[in-house]
């Protein structure tokens, strides 16, 4: 029996390198990139992605998985808009031109970070107040393009809002310092201060905030399962899902874990969120070199509704932090020892 063939963008990045081998176990896979080392060469920043549609139509793709995009909280608005909004329109044109019936997009929980809902729904997009950075704004607008795209050949569009990707559950391997990994970097810089404090360490955060950390291998497995599910159930229209853990990790618990694994003596941690957020951000950047953009999310992640996700993936698809805590830190230590 012939296996379905799918077209994939963003197959060479941190996430893509985990996703592609799993996809190849179940599908015929063509990766689209500018590298010249993949099955299809194209550039999503160019008109029609510089593709020869006539030759590709014979491939009869069953699904397009779009993982390409720019992930950089400090990137300019122009760059974010080009790579996260304009390319969304381009890749949807590719799907239409090649008559690909199903489209799966990997977005981010940052698209819903400024929601006013007590529990953010996967469809929720709030443009009534400014986003904290051009990245989150561009991803939200990219979702809006996908949701409102005039449907012709594409029957079903799935939007997957991925949580904060961290090292895999086996080795914890990472490729750069990013997101939660800035915390141990900051603690190293202020270690003498921490050790000298006779009281608990005042650190920025909110006890209600939960970090939606997702090991990259579990995110990859989830994406592949959603692709299988789409081809098996043939969903119609637009659907969106939060690919995040059921509960998430408390900020204080994360701080305590970082201090423990670096063996930094301390008298405990107290979260500070009663003074000006802007002052907290500036002070943290000055004292510990913790990027303001990253710290904003640490303090403001909302609660993400995952009910619909668990209906597809099952309740235990994503482990909670305690289950892979040791490999998380061993992966970090391995990276910093070789940089």
CATH code of the domain in which 63 resides: 3.40.50.720
Instruction: Show the beta-strand stretches assigned E in the chain.
Output: 5-9, 28-33, 40-41, 63-66, 102-108, 156-162, 164-166, 201-204, 210-211, 213-215, 237-243, 249-250, 269-272
Considering the domain architecture, whether residues 53 and 11 belong to the same structural domain is answered as yes
Domain that holds residue 270: 167-211+248-301+320-338
Distance CA 217, CA 323 (A): 14
pTM: 0.94
Q: Note whether residue 310 is domain-resident.
A: no
Q: What are the CA-CA distances from residue 230 to residues 59, 106, 138 (Å)?
A: 19, 14, 26
Considering the domain architecture, whether residues 219 and 297 belong to the same structural domain is answered as no
73-82 tens-digit pLDDT: 889 999 999 9
Considering the domain architecture, whether residues 64 and 148 belong to the same structural domain is answered as yes
Considering the domain architecture, whether residues 125 and 49 belong to the same structural domain is answered as yes
239-291 tens-digit pLDDT: 999 999 999 999 999 999 999 999 999 999 998 876 555 544 454 554 445 66
Q: Note whether residue 315 is domain-resident.
A: no
Q: Note whether residue 219 is domain-resident.
A: yes
Q: Note whether residue 306 is domain-resident.
A: no
Long-range contacts of 192-195 (CB under 8 A, 24+ apart): 193/287, 194/259, 194/264, 194/265, 194/266, 195/264, 195/265, 195/266
Considering the domain architecture, whether residues 174 and 235 belong to the same structural domain is answered as no
Q: Note whether residue 314 is domain-resident.
A: no
pLDDT tens-digit profile, the chain (339 residues): 689 999 999 998 999 999 999 999 999 999 999 887 889 999 999 888 999 999 999 999 999 999 999 999 889 999 999 999 999 999 999 999 999 999 999 999 999 999 988 899 999 999 999 999 999 999 999 999 999 999 889 999 999 999 999 999 999 999 998 989 988 988 888 899 889 989 998 888 888 899 999 999 999 999 999 999 999 999 999 999 999 999 999 999 999 999 999 999 999 999 887 655 554 445 455 444 566 777 788 778 999 999 999 999 999 999 999 999 999 999 999 999 987
Considering the domain architecture, whether residues 84 and 177 belong to the same structural domain is answered as no
Task: Say if residues 276 and 282 touch (Cβ distance below 8 Å).
Answer: no
Q: Note whether residue 25 is domain-resident.
A: yes
What SS3 state is found at 298? Answer: helix
Considering the domain architecture, whether residues 29 and 129 belong to the same structural domain is answered as yes
Residue 214: other Cβ atoms inside 10 A: 23
* Number of domains within the chain: 2
Distance CA 63, CA 256 (A): 43
Considering the domain architecture, whether residues 106 and 235 belong to the same structural domain is answered as yes
Considering the domain architecture, whether residues 220 and 141 belong to the same structural domain is answered as yes
Considering the domain architecture, whether residues 16 and 26 belong to the same structural domain is answered as yes
Distance CA 90, CA 80 (A): 15
Residue position matching structure tokens 């698209």: 111
In the chain, what is the greatest distance between 2 CA atoms, to the nearest angstrom? 71
Distance CA 299, CA 271 (A): 10
Distance CA 309, CA 240 (A): 9
Considering the domain architecture, whether residues 37 and 147 belong to the same structural domain is answered as yes
Report which of 97, 125, 331, 129 is spatially closest to residue 238, judged by C-alpha positions.
125
Q: What are the CA-CA distances from residue 126 to residues 115, 147, 303 (Å)?
A: 6, 14, 15
Domain final residue, candidates 203, 223, 243? 243
Considering the domain architecture, whether residues 99 and 231 belong to the same structural domain is answered as yes
Q: Note whether residue 152 is domain-resident.
A: yes
What SS3 state is found at 15? Answer: coil
DSSP string over 220-264: HHHHHHHHHHHHHH---EEEEEEES-SS-EEHHHHHHHHHHHTT-
Q: Note whether residue 233 is domain-resident.
A: yes
């Amino acid at each position: 029996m012939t296996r379905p063939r799918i077209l994939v963008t963003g197959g060479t990045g941190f996430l893509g390198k985990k996703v592609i081998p799993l996809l190849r176990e179940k599908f015929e896979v063509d990766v689209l990139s500018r590298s010249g080392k993949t099955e299809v060469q194209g550039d999503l920043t160019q008109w029609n992605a510089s593709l020869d549609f006539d030759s590709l139509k014979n491939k009869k793709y069953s699904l397009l998985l779009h993982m390409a995009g720019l992930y950089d909280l400090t990137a300019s608005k122009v760059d974010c808009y080009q790579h996260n909004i304009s390319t969304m329109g381009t890749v949807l044109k590719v799907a239409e031109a090649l008559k690909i019936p199903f489209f799966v997009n990997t977005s981010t929980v940052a698209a819903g970070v400024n929601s006013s809902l007590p529990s953010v729904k996967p469809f929720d997009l709030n443009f009534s107040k400014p986003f904290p950075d051009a990245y989150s704004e561009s991803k939200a607008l990219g979702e809006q393009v996908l949701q409102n795209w005039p449907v012709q050949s594409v029957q079903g569009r799935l939007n997957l809002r991925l949580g904060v990707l961290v090292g895999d559950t086996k080795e914890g391997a990472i490729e750069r310092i990013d997101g939660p990994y800035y915390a141990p970097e900051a603690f190293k810089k202020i270690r003498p201060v921490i050790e000298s404090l006779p009281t608990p360490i005042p650190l920025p955060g909110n006890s209600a905030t939960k970090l939606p950390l997702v090991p990259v291998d579990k995110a990859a497995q989830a994406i592949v399962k959603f692709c299988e599910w789409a081809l098996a159930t043939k969903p119609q229209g637009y659907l969106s899902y939060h690919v995040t853990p059921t509960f998430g990790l408390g900020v204080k618990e994360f701080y305590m874990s970082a201090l423990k694994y670096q063996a930094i003596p301390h008298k405990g941690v107290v979260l500070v969120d009663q003074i000006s957020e802007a002052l907290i951000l500036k002070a943290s950047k000055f004292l510990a070199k913790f990027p303001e953009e990253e710290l904003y999310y640490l303090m403001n992640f909302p609660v993400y509704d995952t009910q619909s996700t668990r209906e597809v993936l099952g309740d235990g698809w994503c482990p909670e932090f305690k289950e892979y805590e040791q490999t998380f830190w061993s992966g970090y230590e391995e990276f910093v020892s070789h940089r």
